[in-house]
Amino acid sequence: MEYKSVAYIKKAVLIMITIGGLFAILIPLIWLFLISIKSPLEAFRPESFWVFTPTFRNYFDAISNPSIRRYFVNSFVVASLSLAISMIIGVPAAFAFSKLKSRFKNFLLVYIVLARMIPPMIFIIPYFILYQRLNLINTRIGLAVVYTNFNVALVVWSMWTFFNEVPQDLLEVARIDGASIYQIFYKIFLPLSAPGLTTTAIICFLMSWNEFLFALILTRGATKTIPVGIIDLISYEGVNWGLVSSGAILMLLPMLLFAHLSRKYIVKGLLGGALKG
């Protein structure tokens, strides 16, 4: 009896620590949300904590602002375009790396890892100059192409892990039954790795949606994406913090949703082949 109540108290303490920790960790994010539903006057009275009349004025302002709307559309277009190209190019290559014999496989996998890990700052100057020459600066397609570089690497690496989990025997058996490689890829391996495909797609989209450096340097005016748009709102004198934070909340909501949906596989997707080291 006594043993049981000790275990009970231990459990209660653990739960309290977890909830306390969670609160401490999420409070800065909650604060951003609070600022987004405060009036400009209330925003500068932080001591009011949660005691104020919430207003959704900032959200209406953000949604009805034509340039903020355009930034959202740009982000969506660039991320989707880059996602589509990266998946079409990357998924078959990952399959070939995982299940077919290739002489340069190891070298290429290491090269891809490198391409993904190198700080993006290294690429920014040559891309800036080349894009000026090619008239690709300030275009959404140009930005999507840069993101494709990083996303293809991510797709190959992450899908390689997911394909590795499907047994090689499946391929051999289907070959004996007379299926072509294309049929095997399309009808067996793609459906079997559906969770992997979804996770990979989500991470890719997230990367492009969140990317800042290339968007900052390679886009101006009408082609800006939201991260750069948010910076713009801050650089004016007399920042409207309510508007800034409601824009930020609108930007991060879909990401939180995606992350929640893919929480089971997100580590595998991010770490790719290194996970089972």
Options 54-62, 64-72, 186-194, 244-252: segment touching other proteins (CB under 8 A): 244-252
* Near other proteins by CB under 8 A: residue from 19, 141, 173, 194: 19
44 binds other proteins (CB under 8 A): yes
CA separation for the pair 10, 29 (Å, rounded): 29
Q: What is the dihedral of CA 37, 39, 40, 45, to 10 degrees?
A: -90
Q: Is there binding between residue 220 and other proteins (CB under 8 A)?
A: no
Three-class secondary structure of residue 135 per DSSP: coil
Least distance CB 194 / other proteins (angstroms): 19
Sole binder of other proteins in the list 120, 166, 232, 240 (CB under 8 A): 120
Region of 55-63, 103-111, 136-144, 193-201 interacting with other proteins (CB under 8 A): 103-111
C-alpha distances in Å from residue 63, one per residue of 31, 43, 67, 191: 21, 20, 9, 38
* Sole binder of other proteins in the list 144, 193, 214, 273 (CB under 8 A): 273
Q: Which stretch binds other proteins (CB under 8 A): 60-68, 96-104, 134-142, 186-194?
A: 96-104
Q: Which is nearer to other proteins, 96 or 223 (CB)?
A: 96
Lookup: tokens for 195: 């969770």
| Angstrom distances, CA of residue 69 to CA of 62, 75, 216 | 8, 10, 18
Cα–Cα distance measured from residue 266 to residue 260, given in angstroms and rounded to the nearest whole number: 9
For residue 273, the minimal CB distance to other proteins (Å) is 7
Is residue 230 a contact partner of residue 72, using CB atoms and an 8 Å limit? no
Determine if 35 is a binding residue for other proteins (CB under 8 A): yes
